[in-house]
Amino acid sequence: MRLIDTGGVGPRVLLVVGARPNFVKVAPVAHALRRRDEVETALLHTGQHYNRNLSDVFLDQLDLPPPDFHLGVGSGSHAEQTAGVLTGTECVLREHPFDAVLVAGDVNSTLAAALAAAKLGVAVIHLEAGLRSGDWSMPEEINRVLTDRLSDLLLCPSADAVDNLVAEGIPQERVTVVGNTMIDSLFRLEAAATQRGAIERLGLSFGEFVLVTLHRPMLVDDIQLLNATLNALSSVGRTLPVVFPVHPRTRARLGAQGLSEGCVQLVDPLDYLDFVCVMRGARLVITDSGGVQEETSALGVPCLTYRTSTERPITVTAGTNRLVGLDPPTLREACEEVLSHPPPLERPRIPLWDGAAGDRAAGAIAGFLPRRLAHAKGL
């Protein structure tokens, strides 16, 4: 089914996706907008992620239609990737009149599409606005701060994100808390994911393994640190099986250096449903991803974040997450500690992470667009 309906007369929003987490966040908003039937939408895929398991399978499993526009930017340096999305989005917006562009999260595609829209006077809506790690060495932090600055409607996942935006001088009337749309996708597809049997296929047992995802350049581009980290994981693997679906960036580093994985089971990246299936069955998750900190918190699965900062502090204060820094011995100790305690009995309840954030986001967009159009017409 196509989202776009070129015969309609309602406001038109271009939904932009590019990398794996974008698909998961944008799908609930796309579905909710389609249900409301007040706003026309089209989907633009930048092509930042292009491997089948990082892209097409996600679209299918999240019930997103084939993109109306595909920029095919692929990989490259930050400048190349950002420039490709910037010029590609500009071309689409020049040829097709849209009233707003919705971008999600903090990847290079997010900032580039927001910039193209803002320069053409097209309204920018940022889904997952206001998160801050305070670490300017992360490309994602640059993307977040600049995208928020360019945005006309800022949709926040939690109240702390609003505080960050207000502290930076973003006018409060542009900002609204809608909750976490990634958790909408998780709750909607959790039952289907559970049926997949991915845990058994990997030779594992529910609640009796550790899941690892690591892909950030600050870790995987530092070969000494990556090697020491694999050694730490390998020692955890002598207590409980460790499974590590490997992102292409990490795979390239491991292959180039011939690093040994020891007692760690390295597998190809999992599709969305298999990943949810495995994550909800893990005894412990170790990650440097943003979304996985949130998903484990919503599922009540203990999570160790192998980074020095998090832009999602609510997962630490209200969820199951603990920030352990980027130090292999500390990681090993933290694993031992988690595994020596029984798993949590209940799932944490984080305000507005309830499966209905997409509906609230669609409501906020439907309320915003007429105001924006009236303003543009000088009414």
- Site for ligand UD1, rule CB under 6 A: 19-21, 48-51, 54, 75, 106-108, 139-140, 215, 248-249, 252, 289
Which of 132, 134, 187, 136 lies closest to 154, judged by CA? 132
- What is the nearest approach in angstroms of ligand UD1 to the Cβ of residue 103? 12
Nearer to ligand UD1, 229 or 235 (CB): 229
Nearer to ligand UD1, 40 or 295 (CB): 295
Q: Which of 31, 126, 215, 247 is catalytic?
A: 215
Name 379's Cβ contacts closer than 8 Å, sequence gap at least 6: none
- What is the nearest approach in angstroms of ligand UD1 to the Cβ of residue 139? 4
Nearer to ligand UD1, 99 or 288 (CB): 288
Q: Distance between CA 311 and CA 216 in Å, rounded?
A: 14
- What is the nearest approach in angstroms of ligand UD1 to the Cβ of residue 374? 35
- What is the nearest approach in angstroms of ligand UD1 to the Cβ of residue 61? 16
- What is the nearest approach in angstroms of ligand UD1 to the Cβ of residue 143? 7
Nearer to ligand UD1, 106 or 359 (CB): 106
Nearer to ligand UD1, 108 or 315 (CB): 108
- What is the nearest approach in angstroms of ligand UD1 to the Cβ of residue 235? 27
Do the strands 100-104 and 69-70 form a parallel or antiparallel pair, or are they unpaired? unpaired
Does the annotation mark 375 as catalytic?
no
Nearer to ligand UD1, 307 or 360 (CB): 307
Nearer to ligand UD1, 11 or 47 (CB): 47
Per the DSSP assignment, residues forming a β-bridge with 175 are: 154
- The three-state (H, E, C) secondary structure of the chain, written as one string: CCCCCCCCCCCEEEEEECCHHHHHHHHHHHHHHHHHCCCEEEEEECCCCCCHHHCHHHHHHCCCCCCCEECCCCCCCHHHHHHHHHHHHHHHHHHCCCCEEEEECCCHHHHHHHHHHHHCCCEEEEECCCCCCCCCCCHHHHHHHHHHHHCCEEEECCHHHHHHHHHCCCCHHHEEECCCHHHHHHHHHHHHHHCCCHHHHCCCCCCCCEEEECCCHHHHCCHHHHHHHHHHHHHHCCCCCEEEECCHHHHHHHHHHCCCCCCEEEECCCCHHHHHHHHHCCCEEEECCCHHHHHHHHHCCCEEECCCCCCCCHHHHCCCEEECCCCHHHHHHHHHHHHCCCCCCCCCCCCCCCCCHHHHHHHHHHHHHHHHHHHHCCC
Q: Distance between CA 255 and CA 129 in Å, rounded?
A: 36
- What is the nearest approach in angstroms of ligand UD1 to the Cβ of residue 69? 18
- Residues annotated catalytic, as ranges: 215
